[in-house]
Structure 1
Amino acid sequence: MDKGWLTNVVALGVTGASYALEGTAAEAMRMAGLFALSGALTNQLAIHMLFEKVPYLYGSGIILDRFESIRGAIKNLVMEQFFTPEKIESFVRSNERSVDLTPIIEATDFTPAYHALVRSVMDSPLGAMLGMFGGDVVIEKLKEPFVKRIKASTIEISQSESFLRALNTHLHQGSPDLAKSIEQIVEARLAELTPAMVKEMLHTLMKEHLGWLVVWGGVFGGVIGVLSALIV
């Protein structure tokens, strides 16, 4: 069972068990269970709202809404990091006709693309909700798998037949507009990246890590519930 749903089941079980007891212990268990269930369900809904549009809930579906900015950030990163005029000129001078960009891509820092994603989420209405549980620190664990996935996708683009054919053609011709041509090729390839594909990719990466947000929501909710019962 998913750790998020397991947290909900445990919280519900604690709530139900409290009705078999009496006195302060029963009240503390009941409050712990209810607060834990509330915290876990709220965080689970917040995670769901990152990827899916929820009717009448403003700010839901932020990944789909910010798709263009995420794709634009990837394109800028590709062009600014390893398709600079200096690198292109170096390729032309070396008279390379079969270019393997994998080492360059592997050595490229893709952190700006990750930060663009984090900014998109934190600047959205959901940012305030995530801020209550640590803000962008909570999704810091996503950085490594996100960067690995983007690198793999970029390598795939650079090794595609259409990309290499166009690149070699322009290298042979010595086109002065090579950088512009490469940018158009990258744009064309990224245009194949649909919102659904980005949502699925990020959902796969985030599901495991953000599941802990539900767990900790239940834990902190339970603690607050116990404290509330004891104080009252």
Structure 2
Amino acid sequence: MNKSLVSNFVAVVVVTVGYLMSGPYQEYVLNTGLFALSGGITNWLAIHMLFERVPGLYGSGVVQLRFEDFKEGIRNLIMEQFFNRGDLEAFFHGAGQSSERLGEQIQGTIDSLDLEKAFDSLMDVIMGSSFAGMLGMLGGRDALNPLKSPFVERMREYFSEQFTNDEFQSRVEGAMKNALDEESIRKTVSELIEQRLNQMTPKMVKDIVQEMIHKHLGWLVVWGCAFGGLIGLVVTIVNNWSV
């Protein structure tokens, strides 16, 4: 269930009821609905603007605009951790092993990647952009922390798909057989990894986290509607009380 859509729909229903009804409570219902709808739409738009460019709205589509910065962080993470000294030695001495054993070694290396750094890299890109101010109204960096665990899990799945398939393993195996030393392996395999990373696009990153955004950040829209509606009700009560 799309929490964002449902909460905004409820707010629209409240606005409609408030507009059509008559009597002393009409103003209370209408203002509650209007404030709820404005809060929900504002938060939904903020989430939407993380990945989509909205014409006329400065700072929208920050992941697309700053995607190369994010990809550079991913690249550095993999180059630093994917082939450290121990991994290189294991790969070098495994040059004559079967493809199945090679796949296990690659999968083991992927499982040991500290992908929380990849999430931090994405957060640095977002918080270092012009979008940070708007996100600050929703709780800033802390508002995105619920995405960390599912992001790490989904990115690990993505890297497994990219680096443990038969094609990639075959190319690594061929590179190891032709390599003279560990440095040659590092250079050759790094080039293969680089080719894979160059295939990563902003849309792919968006697709990876799209479901997580609806599941976890959808609550921001729900609470935006709830608090917006509460504020609208309180403001109306105070205004009428002071009259």
TM-score in terms of structure 1 length: 0.89
2:216 to 184, 202, 209: 209
1:96 and 1:128 mapped to 2: Cα distance? 54
Counterpart of 2:200 in structure 1 is: 193
1:168 to 173, 198, 206: 173
1:2 and 1:89 mapped to 2: Cα distance? 48
2:138 to 129, 133, 141: 133
Identity of aligned pairs, percent?
A: 39
**Gap change, CA 1:6 and 1:90, over 3 Å in 2:** closer
Q: Structure 1: which 5+ runs fail to align? A: none
Structure 1 residue 195: deviation in Å? 2.4
Structure 1 residue 94: deviation in Å? 5.7
Aligned length: 231
Counterpart of 2:155 in structure 1 is: 150
Q: Which SS does the other structure have where 2:50 is aligned?
A: helix
User: Residue type of the partner of 1:42?
Assistant: T
1:113 to 106, 113, 118: 118
Structure 1 residue 18: deviation in Å? 3.0
8 Å contact from structure 1 (residues 85, 179) kept in 2: no
Q: Which SS does the other structure have where 2:57 is aligned?
A: coil
8 Å contact from structure 1 (residues 51, 203) kept in 2: no
RMSD: 2.1
Determine whether 1:231 maps to 2:238.
yes
Structure 1 residue 95: deviation in Å? 5.7
Q: Structure 2: which 5+ runs fail to align? A: none
**Gap change, CA 1:188 and 1:3, over 3 Å in 2:** same
Structure 1 residue 218: deviation in Å? 0.5
- Higher mean alpha-carbon deviation, 109-118 vs 188-197, is at 188-197
Which structure 2 residues correspond to residues 17-166 of structure 1 after superposition, within 5 A? 17-19=17-19, 20-23=21-24, 25-93=25-93, 97-98=97-98, 99=102, 100=104, 101-166=106-171
1:163 and 1:32 mapped to 2: Cα distance? 57
